[in-house]
Amino acid sequence: MTAIATAGAHRAGRTAQAGAKRWRRAVTGWSFAAPFTVLFLVFLALPVVASLVMSVTDMRATDLRTPFAVDFVGLGNYQRLFGDDLFLRAALNTVVFVAAGVPLTIVAALAAANALNSGLIRFRALFRVGFYLPVVTSIVAIAVVWRFLLDPEAGLVDDLLARVGVDGPNWLGDTRTSLASITVMAAWRNFGSLMVIFLAALQGIPANLYEAATIDGAGRWQQFRRVTLPLMRPALLFGAVITGIGYLQLFEEPLVMTQGGPLSSTLSVSYHIYNQFGFGNYGYAAAASYVLFVAIVALSVLQFRLLGTRDD
Amino acid sequence: MRNRLIAGAACAALALSVAAGCGRDADEGAQTAKEVGAGKASGEITVWAMGTEGEKLAEFAKGFTADNPQAKVTVTAVPWDAAGQKLTSAIAAKQTPDVSMIGTTMQGGLAKTGALDVTPTDLFAKDTFFPGAWDTTVVDGTSYGVPWYVETRGIYYRTDLAAKAGFPAGPKTWDELTAMAKALQATAGAKWGINLQPGKTGSWQSVLPFGWSNGAELTKDGKYTFDTPQLAEAVGYYQSFFTQKLAPANLPQGALEPAFIRGEIGAFMSGPWHVGILNEQGGKGFAGKYSVAPMPAEKSSTSFIGGSNLAVFKDAKNRDAAWKFLAWLSKPDVQVRWYQTVSDLPAVQSAWTDSALTADPILKVFGEQLKSAKAPPAYPTWDQIAAVFDTEMEKVCVGGEDPAAALKRIQSQADSIGTGV
Amino acid sequence: MTRDRAAKAALYLVLCAGLLVVVGPFLWMALSSLKPEGEIRAVPPTWWPDTWTFANYRDLFARLDFPQYFTNSAIVAVLVTVGNLLFCSLLGYALAKLDFPGRKALFLAVLGMLMVPGMVTFVPQFVLISNLGLANTYAGLVLPFLAGPFGVFLMRQFLQSIPDDLLEAARVDGAGEWRIFWRIVLPLCRPALATLGILTFLASWNNFLWPLVVATTDDKYTLPVALALYSIGQNRIYFGLLLAGAVVVVVPVLIVFLALQRHFLRGIATTGLK
């Protein structure tokens, strides 16, 4: 009798102990998470809810003083979007841009980070600052120089092409090449940030792994594929997701370089949304923003599937 | 599981409470002006002004304080970049000042929010100002603000090259403009006779003056009317410069002024601010080589009027003093002094009789043009319609599309978007 | 040996070519800020100034209340950066290494927030800040950015690579979670913190739209807002002032970058394992 009772008491004690442990873990976890979560809920989550509600109304800028005096339109804004030619064109442009731009930027950043991390190079700090400069240079200065570079008559690119006997196109003025030009320019501008992130990630790979690989006879390329890439997976995933998110919201480059032209060939979804907010079509623009959000989520889910580890 | 239920309930509650308070009320109807009354102004008047005006107004307003010792004018300078966003956000959050400077094309949308006070009739009279400028303050029959300064457009041309081409006094009619452009290229060595904006943002400011000069009206009975034969003719005329290779379809940004100075471009269409740019870039002596002609006439010589207005907000803390300040700024002698401070052209007609404005020949041209210049309707949806117009103009100028077909497309979009009033 | 030398030479060549490509516009920006307005607008653009002038800088500093705006920018940027470094590493660590109920949901919420396009929450955020009475205050300028989803995501990814055995060993030794965090985890992720610091500082320093709207009087303007005041007109851009302003704005960012990039050193992640 006593044995069963004590056994029962022991079992109860152990479950109580397990429960207490879970409670302690919850408290610890949430105390780490609390400061961020409070700020997050108040300043980020609340406005998101408000804007979601905005997207199912016909709210315009003229309703700003009386935001509740608007009509519900349900999914009307969303339906209108898919009949809007400009929006569809912008969506196509953005998809093409992301499909080409994200890999291009990642490869450039990875190559630069790897090159600057290897022991071969001196003056690494100089190169690091240099490659980061496009990120911090004023977009106006960038626009002037790039417009000049791509000028069909006086520009450097077409000049070089002419020497090889190729008649270079009007890069920014031709609807067939404008998006490609913007893509290259955006990759050039943004790979510096990614490079910085990849550099930091490369620091976390222990040197002895490379030593062991060299002893095993692995060449530089093999070491890159077998040691570097796998260990950089979390950083690569981060880089891909962040770049995807950023590029799906491409805005500044078309705004400053081509104003969405020629003939809407470089109009991006974010630029279209910006215009709609400018016209005061708040409900409609909010709906477009959330369609963009869905696209961003979809791309990120795909990237998590491809590059994530098991516990992501 | 429980968390998800709670979250769901919260969302539903929020949605319900929002829905309960929603729905549009019937239109309030026309608003009436409240009188301001006599006496000196007192208290603090907060003013938002953009760009150079913002910089210089604080000092300039000391003249008002001299006349009204109890009053104090506090000016906050606001960048032009994203000024519209700043104003609409301030209205949404009820953080508006007493007075703000407002670009003429922004007026319609802001007035419709109900945030602007109606112009008091005891302080301001409509015919003090240029008619086109006053019209930019009128939304749905009521005026919500007063014009402050104006600008308009003319044809800049190289006088030396035009003389060689046989047009020493510049172009006077549509036919003469075309002939002059051709002659500049044939006999005066210019690569392009004239530069006209080939569509894209803001091109409506170049195209519509031709439309107005041909008798086109943009609105009738409270609706947009783009699909008119007069406007189609004007757009066709505008297009002819591109089809006849008299105007470049793809001039790189920033290339206009150097080309004009070098004589590669014989003429271009722009406003008063270009005088400063040309004199800066052209160096010594260039000022004598160009002049400005009024818009060439077809049925009339009508240009575009722009500029900025001043408005008082409904939530203003010091309404009466604010309106008195605006009345002071509208006095002819104050307008002249303001011109001498920042080179803004006065919106008040009688200010133009002052010698400061009658001496310069280019200013005279702009001053004449202002008397009949027109502005687009002050509808809240104008910005959006203008963007549609600009896109179609690009197709017409660069892509060779038929003007009448383009205008039909613009009309159908304008009909579906509406006037917003 | 020669294969190594050849590889080295090739690498240097490629890197230097790359450097020229990336540095070009920056150089043009810096050199052009020393040209008169007319020359800046010249087409084709000139590189080396025909006329050297400090007029743009003189003009800018004469009209601009530089100390005021610089201080505002500095206060905001430093607060936002420090806040992010602190809160994001706290939450990033919790998401990467601690197990607590609601962890997955929280991570998904944060990640989701990262994916919401910025423009759509702008006006609601400003209305919220105003209703809290924080318009035209430093708090209003800083609070919405203090908790950045970007930082959380970055720290989580980096902290994932810290070996669990290291933490277990510390726990077995009796160290509390906070101690583990401060003494062991943080020093290990110096490169990650440096990265987050640089990127957050840059974003905050260059932020234009939010400070423009939140500041209702110009004593709370930050540097980018003040610079736009003088360089962008209603119908024209004053390029000389714009470029001088751009150079002035970029200098602190470069200083912060140079200071923090020292931390991109070989990590000491392996110590403690043996």
**Cα–Cα dist C143/C80, whole Å:** 8
**Domain A78-307: what homologous superfamily?**
MetI-like (1.10.3720.10)
Highest mean pLDDT among A94-103, A114-123, B109-118: A94-103
What contacts C116, CB < 8 A, 6 or more positions away?
Answer: A48, A289, A293
Could you read off the pLDDT of B231-277 as tens digits, one per residue? 999 999 999 999 999 999 888 777 899 999 999 999 999 999 999 88
Q: Which residues in chain B have Cβ-Cβ distances shorter than 8 Å to A147? A: 252-253
| Tokens of residue C118, six digits | 């910025």
Q: Does residue B13 carry a pLDDT above 60?
A: no
Contact at 8 Å (CB) between C28 and C239? no
Q: Where are the alpha helices (DSSP H) in A150-223?
A: 156-163, 178-203, 207-215, 220-223
Tokens standing for residue A219: 């060449």
Chain B interface test: which of C32, C40, C43, C208 (most B C-beta within 10 Å): C43
- Tell me the nearest-neighbour CA distance from B83 into chain A, angstroms: 11
Query: How many CB pairs (< 8 A) connect A and C?
Result: 250
Distance from CA of A204 to the nearest CA of C (A): 5
Per-residue pLDDT, C269: 35
What is the arrangement of strands in the sheet containing B154-158, beginning at the earlier edge strand?
Answer: B267-270, B154-158, B290-293
| Confidence at B4, pLDDT banded by 50, 70, 90 | low
The β-bridge partners of B142 are B139
- B182 closest CA partner among B160, B167, B204: B167
Q: What is the DSSP string of B92-148?
A: HTT---SEEEEEGGGHHHHHHTT-BPPPPTTT--GGGB-HHHHHTTEETTEE-SEEE
Interface test with B, best of A58, A60, A65 (most B CBs within 10 A): A65
Residues 93-112 of C with CB under 8 A from A: 93-95, 98-103, 106, 109-112
Residue B410 makes CB contacts below 8 A (sequence gap 6+) with: B226, B227, B385, B388, B389, B392
Contact C109 A46 (CB under 8 A): no
pLDDT digit string, tens, across residues A201-238: 887 788 888 888 888 888 878 888 888 888 888 889 98
**What domains can you pick out in chain B, each with its CATH number?**
43-152+305-372 (3.40.190.10), 154-304+379-417 (3.40.190.10)
Q: What confidence score (pLDDT) does residue B125 get?
A: 92
Neighbours of C139 (CB within 10 A): 14
The mean pLDDT of chain A is 87
Distance CA A70, CA A231 (A): 53
Give residue C266's pLDDT: 40
ipTM of the complex: 0.85
CB contact under 8 A, A62 and B113: yes
Of B45, B29, B89, B94, the closest CA to residue B319 belongs to: B45
Of C38, C126, C232, the CB nearest to B93: C126
Query: What local confidence, expressed as pLDDT, does residue C89 receive?
Result: 93
Which two three-digit tokens encode residue A295? 């696209």
Chain A contacts of C128, Cβ < 8 Å? 42-43, 46-47, 50
Residues 6 or more apart from A22 whose CB is under 8 A from it?
A: C101
The SS3 call for residue A219 is: coil
The 10s digit of each residue's pLDDT in A118-144 is 766 678 888 888 898 998 888 888 888
| Superfamily of C59-263 according to CATH | MetI-like (1.10.3720.10)
The alpha-carbon gap from A299 to the nearest alpha carbon of chain B, in Å, equals 25
Per-residue pLDDT, C11: 82
CB nearest B79 (choices: C43, C105, C228):
C228
CB atoms within 10 A of CB A33: 26
C218 with B77: Cβ contact below 8 A? yes
Angle at A143 (CA atoms; ends A89, A167), nearest 5 degrees? 75
Q: How far apart are CA C156 and CA C92, in angstroms?
A: 4
Helices and strands, number each (H, E), in chain A = 15, 0
pLDDT at C272: 28
Degrees, nearest 5: CA angle A37-A41-A45 = 135
Q: Which chains lie within 8 Å of chain A at 3 or more CB pairs, if any?
A: B, C
- Which residues of chain C have a CB within 8 Å of the CB of B90? 213, 216
Distance of residue B255 Cα from the nearest chain A Cα, in angstroms: 11
Interface residues of chain C, partner chain B, Cβ below 8 Å: 37-38, 41-43, 63, 102, 105, 122-123, 126-127, 129-131, 135-136, 208-209, 212-213, 216-218, 225, 228-230, 232-236
Residue of chain B minimizing CA distance to C102: B3
A contacts of C269 (beta carbons < 8 Å): 204, 206
Q: What's the DSSP call for residue B87?
A: H
Going C40 to C42 to C44 to C47, the CA torsion angle's sign is negative
Q: Which residue has the tokens 């950066």?
A: C81
**Cis peptide bond upstream of C44, omega within 30:** yes
CA angle at A170 for the pair A165 and A173, rounded to the nearest 5°: 175
CB contact under 8 A, C158 and A293: no
With a CB cutoff of 8 Å and minimum separation 6, the contacts of C164 are: C97
For chain A, say whether C150 makes contact (Cβ under 8 Å).
Answer: yes
Confidence check: pLDDT of B168 > 60: yes
**Is residue B390 within 8 Å of residue B204, measured between CB atoms?**
yes
Note the pLDDT tens digit of each residue in C164-201. Answer: 888 888 888 888 888 888 888 888 888 889 889 989 99
Q: Are A129 and C110 an interchain contact pair (Cβ–Cβ within 8 Å)?
A: no
- The span from the CA of C102 to the CA of C108, in Å, is 10
Please tell me the predicted confidence (pLDDT) of residue C265.
47
∠ CA B390-B392-B395, nearest 5°, is 115
Report how far residue A294's alpha carbon sits from residue A301's, in angstroms, rounded to the nearest whole number: 10
SS3 content of chain A, % helix, strand, coil (to 5): 75, 0, 25
Kindly list the residues of chain B whose beta carbon comes within 8 Å of any beta carbon in chain A.
11, 14-15, 18-19, 21-25, 84-85, 88, 91-92, 94, 109, 112-115, 200-201, 250, 252-254, 380-381, 383-384, 387, 391, 394-395, 398-399, 420
Ordered by start, the domain boundaries in chain A are: 2-55, 78-307
- Give residue-wise pLDDT tens across range B278-331: 998 888 899 999 999 999 999 999 999 999 999 999 999 999 999 999 999 999
How far is residue B107's CA from residue B100's CA, in Å, rounded to a whole number?
Answer: 11
Instruction: Name the residue ranges covered by the structural domains of chain C.
Output: 2-53, 59-263
- Nearest chain C Cα to B151, which residue? C235
Q: Do B54 and C43 touch (CB under 8 A)?
A: no
Q: What's the whole-number mean pLDDT along residues B58-63?
A: 94
Residue of C nearest to A108 (CA): C18
Closest CA of chain C from B221, distance in Å = 32
Report whether the peptide linkage leading into residue B376 is cis, meaning its omega lies within 30 degrees of zero.
no
Which range (A66-70, B73-77, B199-203, C126-130) has the least confidence? A66-70
Greater pLDDT, A47 or A123: A47
Res B26: pLDDT: 58
Alpha carbon of A11: minimum distance to chain C alpha carbons (Å): 24
Question: In three state form, how does the secondary structure of chain C look?
Answer: CHHHHHHHHHHHHHHHHHHHHHHHHHHHHHHHCCCCHHHHCCCCCCCCCCCCCCHHHHHHHHHCCHHHHHHHHHHHHHHHHHHHHHHHHHHHHHHHHCCCCCHHHHHHHHHHHHCCCHHHHHHHHHHHHHHCCCCCCHHHHHHHHHCCHHHHHHHHHHHHCCCHHHHHHHHHCCCCHHHHHHHHHHHHCHHHHHHHHHHHHHHHHHCCHHHHHHCCCHHHCCHHHHHHHHHECCCCECHHHHHHHHHHHHHHHHHHHHHHHHHCCCCCCCCCCC
Q: What is the reported pLDDT for A8?
A: 64
> In this predicted structure, what is the pLDDT of residue A162?
85
Residue of A nearest to B417 (CA): A281
Residue to test with chain B: of C39, C207, C229, most B Cβ within 10 A: C229
pLDDT of residue A2: 63
Contact B407, B227 (CB under 8 A): yes
Kindly tell me if the per-residue pLDDT of A270 is higher than 60: yes
For chain C positions 39-78, those within 8 Å of chain A (CB to CB) are: 43-45
Mean pLDDT of B340-369: 93
User: In chain C, which residues have their Cβ closer than 8 Å to the Cβ of A35?
Assistant: 86-87, 90, 147
Write the residue in B74, B80, B85 that is nearest to C209 by C-beta. Answer: B85
Burial class (CB in 10 A: 0-12, 13-18, 19+), C51: exposed
pLDDT for the residue C236:
83
Residues 151-170 of C with CB under 8 A from A: 152-154, 157-158, 160-161
Distance spanning both ends of chain A, measured CA to CA: 49
Spans of chain C below 50 pLDDT: 265-274
The pTM of this model reads: 0.88
Note the pLDDT tens digit of each residue in A138-171: 888 888 888 888 888 777 888 888 888 888 888 8
Do A138 and C29 count as a contact with CB atoms less than 8 A apart? yes
Which pairing describes strands B146-152 and B345-346: parallel, antiparallel, or unpaired?
A: antiparallel
CB B82 to CB C209 under 8 A?
yes
Q: How many CB atoms lie within 10 A of CB C158?
A: 28
Neighbours of chain B (3+ CB pairs under 8 A): A, C
Shortest Cα–Cα distance, B342 to chain C (Å):
12
Contact B387 A64 (CB under 8 A): no
Q: CA torsion sign, B153 to B159 to B165 to B166?
A: positive
Which pLDDT value is given to residue C98?
Answer: 87
Closest residue of A to B26, CA-based?
A69
SS3 at position B181 = helix
Q: What is the pLDDT, as a whole number, of residue C267?
A: 36
Residue B105 CA to residue B28 CA, distance in Å, equals 23
Chain C residue whose CA is closest to B251: C43
Minimal Cβ distance to C120: which of A134, A241, A289: A289
CB contact under 8 A, C41 and B257: yes
A99-103, B146-150, B337-341, C175-179: range with lowest mean pLDDT: C175-179
- For residue B145, pLDDT beyond 90: yes
Q: Are β-strands B99-103 and B43-50 bridged in parallel, bridged antiparallel, or unpaired?
A: parallel
End-to-end Cα, chain C, rounded Å: 34
What average pLDDT is seen over chain B? Answer: 90
**Which residue in chain C has the smallest CA separation from A35?**
C87
Q: If you count residue pairs, one on A and one on B, with CB atoms under 8 Å apart, how many are there?
A: 81
Hey, which of A119-123, B13-17, B348-352, C193-197 has the most confident mean pLDDT? Answer: B348-352
Average pLDDT estimate for B113-130:
92
Q: Name chain B contacts of C218, Cβ cutoff 8 Å.
A: 76-77
Q: Which of A160, A148, A224, A216 shows the shortest CA–CA distance to A185?
A: A148
